Amino acid sequence: MDYQRIFTQAIDRLHAEGRYRVFIDILRDKGSFPNAHCFAGHNGPKPITVWCSNDYLSMGQHPDVIGAMEQALHEVGAGSGGTRNIGGNTHYHVELEAELADLHGKEGALLFTSGYVSNEATLATIARILPGCIIFSDELNHASMIAGIRHSGCEKQIFRHNDVAHLEELLAAADPAAPKLIAFESVYSMDADIAPIAEFCDLADKYNAITYLDEVHAVGMYGARGGGISEREGLAHRLTIIEGTLGKAFGVMGGYVAADKVIIDVIRSYAPGFIFTTSLAPVLVAGALASVRHLKASSVEREGQQASAAKLKAMFAEAGLPVMPSTTHIVPLMVGDPVKAKRVSDILLAEYGVYVQPINFPTVPRGTERLRFTPGPTHSEEMMRELTAALVEIWSRMEIQLAA
Ligand code: PLP
pTM metric for this prediction: 0.96
**Mean pLDDT for all residues in the chain:** 95
119 lines ligand 1 (CB under 6 A): yes
* pLDDT beyond 70 at 404: no
> Residue 253's pLDDT is what?
98
If you average pLDDT over residues 214-221, what whole number do you get?
98
Name the residue among 282, 257, 283 with its Cα closest to residue 271: 257
Q: Which atom of ligand 1 is nearest to the CA of 119?
A: 10
Cβ neighbours of residue 220 under 8 Å, at least 6 residues apart? 56, 57, 59, 226, 248, 249, 250, 291, 292, 295, 302
How many percent of the chain have pLDDT more than 90?
A: 91
Instruction: Confirm if 181 and 126 have CB atoms less than 8 A apart.
Output: yes
Angle at 341 between CA 44 and CA 48, to 5 degrees: 30
For the segment 39-83, what is each residue's pLDDT rounded down to a tens digit? 976 667 899 999 999 999 999 999 999 999 999 999 999 999 999
pLDDT band at 403 (very low <50, low <70, confident <90, very high): low
Does 34 sit behind a cis peptide bond, omega within 30 degrees of 0 on the bond before it?
A: yes
pLDDT band at 19 (very low <50, low <70, confident <90, very high): confident
> Residue 127's pLDDT is what?
93
DSSP letter for each residue of 115-152 = HHHHHHHHHHHHHHHSTT-EEEEETT--HHHHHHHHHH
Q: Of the listed 106, 248, 313, 342, which one is catalytic?
A: 248
Pairing of strands 187-188, 193-194: antiparallel
> Residue 265's pLDDT is what?
98
Residue whose CA lies nearest to ligand 1 atom number 12: 115
For the segment 173-193, what is each residue's pLDDT rounded down to a tens digit? 999 999 999 999 999 988 889
Q: What is the rounded distance in angstroms from the CA atom of residue 139 to the CA atom of residue 151?
A: 17
Name the residue among 239, 301, 252 with its Cα closest to residue 281: 252
Q: Count Cβ atoms below 10 Å from residue 175 Cβ, excluding itself.
A: 10
**Phi then psi for 219, rounded to 5 degrees?**
-70, 140
> Residue 250's pLDDT is what?
98
Name the percent of the chain in helix, strand, coil, to the closest 5: 45, 15, 40
Instruction: Confirm if 253 and 114 have CB atoms less than 8 A apart.
Output: yes
Name the residue among 322, 324, 319 with its Cα closest to residue 387: 319
> Residue 394's pLDDT is what?
96
Q: What is the rounded distance in angstroms from the CA atom of residue 298 to the CA atom of residue 366?
A: 40
Question: Does the active-site annotation cover 248?
Answer: yes
The listed range with the strongest mean pLDDT (88-97, 322-331, 392-401) is 88-97
> Residue 41's pLDDT is what?
67
| Residue 395 alpha carbon to ligand 1 centre in Å | 31
Residue whose CA lies nearest to ligand 1 atom number 13: 115
Secondary structure string (H, E, C) spanning 185-248: ECEECCCCEECCHHHHHHHHHHCCCEEEEECCCCCCCCCCCCCCHHHHCCCHHHCCEEEEECCC
> Residue 375's pLDDT is what?
96
List the beta bridge partners of residue 259.
108
For the segment 121-173, what is each residue's pLDDT rounded down to a tens digit? 999 999 999 999 999 999 999 999 999 999 999 999 999 999 999 999 999 99
Mutation to probe ligand 1, out of 139, 142, 191, 357 (largest number of atoms < 8 A from CB): 142
* pLDDT beyond 90 at 256: yes
* pLDDT beyond 80 at 285: yes
Instruction: Confirm if 279 and 93 have CB atoms less than 8 A apart.
Output: yes
Mutation to probe ligand 1, out of 138, 216, 243, 257 (largest number of atoms < 8 A from CB): 216
If you average pLDDT over residues 250-272, what whole number do you get?
98
Q: Which atom of ligand 1 is nearest to the CA of 255?
A: 15
